[in-house]
Amino acid sequence: MIAASVRGELVRIALLRGDELAEFYLWNRNAPDCVGDLYTGRVVSVEKALAGCFVALGGEISGFMPDSAGGKNLTEGQYISVCITRAAQGGKGPRLSLAQAPAAGTPGLIAAGPGPLVELARRFASDEIILDDYALMADLRPALEGRMHYNAKAFDPVLEDEVASLAEPLAILPHGARLHITPAPAATLLDVDSASASHLPPLALNTAIIPEICRQIVLRNLSGGILIDFAGLKTAQRQKLLPPLREALNHDPLSPNLLGLSHLGFAEINRRRTRPPLHEILHG
């Protein structure tokens, strides 16, 4: 089931699997992240050292298109149609790819993207959609006709509490362990604290908490470089955590890459950046 609840300018979107929150998104309809938007753009500079080019999209907006996404062989001043594939985040502009739509004579928006709710509904085409706002239902009717149902309590108290906890830089893990979450521009550090954990052996404890760590990565939309510092294990033992960690990451909709262990023993993950992470939306 997909549940959407309007609170002020934000639409909160939850994918539920039974009673478990599987994915969560915040959608600011007054300031959308623009993922999926189609634009006419003008190439303003070709940067061979960066293997791509910068494209003006109109107004003060510009983005970067890698050669691998269609930027190769473009020339300065050329008008093209582009799609935003990654929202502006971390102080950087949006990432672009070449689109097949006809380009207009001046830079500007051609068509807005679907937004996270419609995008989620397309991925889970058989799921019922519960909303608590009639105006939002009316706006979404062209895309989601026949799938939406009104419920004044689309988010029950248990879901409200879990969503509220996602704003905190701390997550409670199974067996009493805790996860400290520290975002930085270059990477996000996930530090496992087992001081209050049960008396499971360290290897068993760390193995048991891996699925919840990966669920928190998805719910908070942590992306880019992610480092996990597991608790109380020597490097040789940490190697044994890689297979269960890789298996848990297989359930992530963004298919992150597990790169192995760093020299400091951190598990290194690279997760694709698409929409802004939750902490940037809440605190940015």
My answer on whether 90 and 150 are in the same domain is no
- 18 and 5 in contact (C-beta within 8 Å)? no
Domain boundary, last residue among 158, 188, 222: 158
My answer on whether 139 and 279 are in the same domain is no
Q: Is residue 33 part of a domain?
A: no
pTM over 0.75: yes
Domain boundary, last residue among 158, 181, 213: 158
DSSP-derived 3-state class of residue 220: coil
Print pLDDT tens along the chain (284 aa).
999 999 988 999 999 999 899 999 999 999 899 999 999 999 999 999 999 999 999 988 999 999 999 999 999 999 999 999 999 988 889 999 999 888 778 999 999 999 999 999 999 999 999 999 999 999 999 999 999 999 999 999 999 999 999 999 999 999 999 999 999 988 999 999 988 777 789 999 999 999 999 999 999 999 999 999 999 888 889 999 999 999 999 999 999 999 999 999 999 999 999 999 999 988 76
My answer on whether 192 and 260 are in the same domain is yes
Q: How many domains does the chain have?
A: 3
Q: Is residue 232 part of a domain?
A: yes
Q: What is the pLDDT of residues 12-39, one digit of tens each?
A: 999 999 989 999 999 999 989 999 999 9
Q: Residue 158: what pLDDT?
A: 96
My answer on whether 52 and 128 are in the same domain is no
Q: Is residue 56 part of a domain?
A: yes
My answer on whether 146 and 257 are in the same domain is no
Q: Is residue 153 part of a domain?
A: yes
- Owning domain of residue 45: 38-111
My answer on whether 14 and 139 are in the same domain is yes
Residue 216 sits in a domain whose CATH number is: 3.40.630
**CA–CA gap between residue 165 and residue 180 (Å, rounded):** 13
Residue 58 sits in a domain whose CATH number is: 2.40.50.140
My answer on whether 185 and 258 are in the same domain is yes
Q: Is residue 250 part of a domain?
A: yes
Cα distance between the two ends of the chain: 29
My answer on whether 105 and 118 are in the same domain is no
Q: Residue 284: what pLDDT?
A: 63
- Strand 79-86 relative to strand 170-172: parallel, antiparallel, unpaired? unpaired
Q: Closest Cα to residue 23, out of 253, 246, 227, 185?
A: 253
For the record, the structure tokens of 279 come out as 């902490």
My answer on whether 124 and 224 are in the same domain is no
My answer on whether 47 and 81 are in the same domain is yes
My answer on whether 153 and 173 are in the same domain is no
| DSSP per position, 95-133 | EEEE--SPP-SS-EEEE---HHHHHHHHHTTT--EEES-
Q: What is the pLDDT of residues 243-261, one digit of tens each?
A: 999 999 999 999 999 999 9
Domain boundary, last residue among 89, 111, 133: 111
My answer on whether 244 and 173 are in the same domain is yes
User: 245-258 b/e with 16+ CB inside 10 Å = b?
Assistant: beebbeebeeebeb
What Rg, from alpha-carbon coordinates, does the chain have?
21
